[in-house]
Structure 1
């Protein structure tokens, strides 16, 4: 399993440059690294001094680079879908629709990119995957997909399974879903195994996001007040999906007391201005990117005290809303919503009180 790193921050703060330096740093330490870029523009290739492609190519020792192209990812997935359709339907409906014809609909990019990261992680070829994404809410929603999808399955599974529509289309829908989620199904356990395997896959995804030794983000900012405020907002939003933010990278400026206070208790590292041909000063200025586990945990559950604590920096009390409409607790903060799956000892219990103090939301049951 690979360490997955990504960088969050306002556009123009140097996220792509930092991602490249991070990939180079890990590679020089002996890790097998894949640098994955999602921006279809030329910036990644220009900074690397080479052309990029939708297939991994060797950049230096231990370092490969790939440029995600949604149309290519969709085309490859479509061919797998057609094979499954032919296997499960006697009269395939989409056999004459070709992947080369398909356009990418809004929202597909994130799902395709996440699936590609999962497949590269599962390949066992890499010790670290550095994802140079949009660095904003789009990246966070992508990484939050396992949590959101598992909630939809929990809440809607019984309703859908009991419907006449599902009984009609499930022989086709279930295997098609497996093409995206890479789940292997057999005929004898067709009804139960797919659901179990999908749930297991989503649980593994949630566990990977929640484990800072597996997945972590770093904030990239300058001293500009707008960039700082954006980084703070993304910090709090990352907590909402259970993603640990390991530290702050202050690009091309010295660390001041004000900056440190804005991101306390995270460590803030100052990154130097480097000439295009010399990456070494920037590489050396980066912190140990494997130490995100020392950062505050997004959520802590204390069963004995019957409390749940969420770390929500970047938000004030007015921006945080708690509701309980069912057996789970829902937290709204900013533009992110999180449904907290409680342990059996607390599941279904009513909230007795909540307080927001020092960036922590403490919920008592």
Structure 2
């Protein structure tokens, strides 16, 4: 399994330079690194000083580079879908629709990119995978797909099972699927069987995201107040999907007490500007990315104390909304919601209160 690293920040060129420098540094330390560029434009290759392709290409010793092209990724995924259809249906319906014909729907880029990262991770070829994406809410939504999709699958599958529609349709599912699709499904299969593999993939994604030894992000910022504020917003938003932020990389400025306070308790690491083709000073200044495991955890469930603690830097108390629904807590902050499945010992207990302390929303049962 790979260590998956990404960078968050509004200054795209600074962020990409840091991602490239991190890839170079880890490669020189002996790790087999894959640097994935989410930007399909030529500008990413110019920063890289190379001509990346949609297939991994070795750029230096231990360092391979790939540039994502959504059209090609969709084409590959479509062929996999057709293979699955041929496996389950004796009369495939999609055989005359070709991947080369398909357009990219809004939001599809993120799903394709995440699946590509998953496949490179599963290959076992790389110790570290660095994803240089948009570095904003788009990147966070991509990494949050397993968590959010798991919730939708869990809740809507149960809604269908418990609904009058599900009960009415149940006796007809098997004969209809047998007659139309040349296959045998029961109503239970409709709810459970087709989603087994997808559920496994989503759970693996959730587990990886919750482990800072597997997936981590670092913030990239300058000392400009508006950039700092946006970076703090991304920090808090990352917590909403359960992504650990390991530290802050400061470009074009010196560390001040004000900046330390803004990002406390994270370490703020200043780095020099890259000079021409000399990457070494920048590489030397970068932090040890493995130390992300020591950063504050996005979620802490303390059963003996009857508490759920959610790390929400960048948000004031009046910007956070808490809803309790059955066994779940919903935290709304900024433009994101997080659904927390409360463990069994705390289920059924009403929320007694909630308070902010040291950037944590502490919910007591």
TM-score between both structures, scaled by the size of structure 2: 0.91
Instruction: Kindly report which structure 2 residues correspond to 1:76-115, keeping only aligned pairs within 5 A, or say none.
Output: 76-115=76-115
Alpha-carbon shift at residue 190 of structure 1 (Å): 6.7
Match of 1:231 in 2: 231
In structure 2, distance between residues paired with 1:102 and 1:155? 30
How far has the Cα of 1:260 moved from its partner? Answer: 1.0
Aligned to 2:159: 159
Task: State whether structure 2 residue 40 is matched by structure 1 residue 40.
Answer: yes
2:346 partner SS: coil
Partner of 1:20: 20
- What aligned pairs does 1:273-288 form with structure 2 within 5 A after superposition? 273-288=273-288
Report the 3-state secondary structure (helix = DSSP H, G, I; strand = E; otherwise coil) of the residue aligned with 1:231. Answer: helix
Q: Distance in 2 between matches of 1:6 and 1:127?
A: 14
**Are 1:320 and 2:311 counterparts?**
no
Q: Identify the residue that residue 266 of structure 2 maps to in structure 1.
A: 266
Unaligned runs of 5+ in 2: 179-187
170 and 123 in structure 1: CA distance in 2 versus 1, 3 angstrom threshold: farther
In structure 1, distance between residues paired with 2:364 and 2:159: 31
- Cα deviation for residue 13 of structure 1 reads 5.8
CA contact (8 A) 2:12 2:134 kept: no
**Is contact 1:6–1:217 with CA below 8 Å preserved after alignment?**
yes
Q: What is the deviation of 1:148?
A: 0.6
SS at match of 1:290: helix
Q: Corresponding residue for 2:256?
A: 256
Within 2, Cα distance between the matches of 1:267 and 1:315?
A: 19
Q: Is the 8 A contact 1:150 1:202 kept in 2?
A: yes
1:194 CA drift (Å): 4.7
- SS at structure 2 position matched to 1:269: strand
Contact 1:13–1:251 (CA under 8 A) maintained in structure 2: no
Pairs within 5 Å for 1:53-132:
53-132=53-132
1:99-248 aligned within 5 A: 99-161=99-161, 162=166, 164=169, 167=173, 194-248=194-248
Structure 1 residues 6 and 239: CA distance shift in structure 2, 3 A: same
Return the offset for 1:349: 2.2
How has the CA–CA distance of structure 1 residues 113 and 60 changed in structure 2, closer, same or farther, with 3 Å as cutoff?
Answer: same
How many angstroms apart in 1 are the aligned matches of 2:362 and 2:356?
6
1-side partners of 2:268 and 2:31: how far apart? 24
Question: Any conservation in 2 of the 1:328–1:348 contact (CA below 8 Å)?
Answer: no
Q: Kindly tell me: are residues 289 and 105 of structure 1, through their superposed partners in 2, closer, same or farther at Cα, counting changes over 3 Å?
A: same
CA 156–306 in structure 1, closer or farther in 2 if over 3 Å, else same: same
Contact 1:33 1:64 in 2 (8 A): yes
Structure 1 residue 116 displacement after superposition: 0.3
Q: Equivalents in 2 of 1:108, 1:170: separation in Å?
A: 29
Question: Distance between the aligned counterparts of 2:309 and 2:142, measured in 1?
Answer: 24
Per-residue deviation at 1:26?
0.7
Change (3 A) 1:270 1:77: same
Poorly superposed stretches of 4+, deviation over 6 Å: 168-171
Q: Residues 13 and 227 of structure 1 are in contact (CA less than 8 Å); yes or no, is this contact kept in structure 2?
A: no
Residue 86 of structure 1 aligns to a residue whose secondary structure is: helix
User: CA-atom RMSD, angstroms?
Assistant: 2.1
Q: Name the structure with the higher helix share.
A: 2
**Residue in 1 aligned with 2:356?**
356
1:276 Cα deviation from its structure 2 partner:
2.2
* Mapped partners of 2:173, 2:240: distance in 1: 35
SS at match of 1:355: strand
Decide whether the 8 Å contact of 1:13 with 1:221 is kept in 2. no
Q: Return the offset for 1:248.
A: 0.3
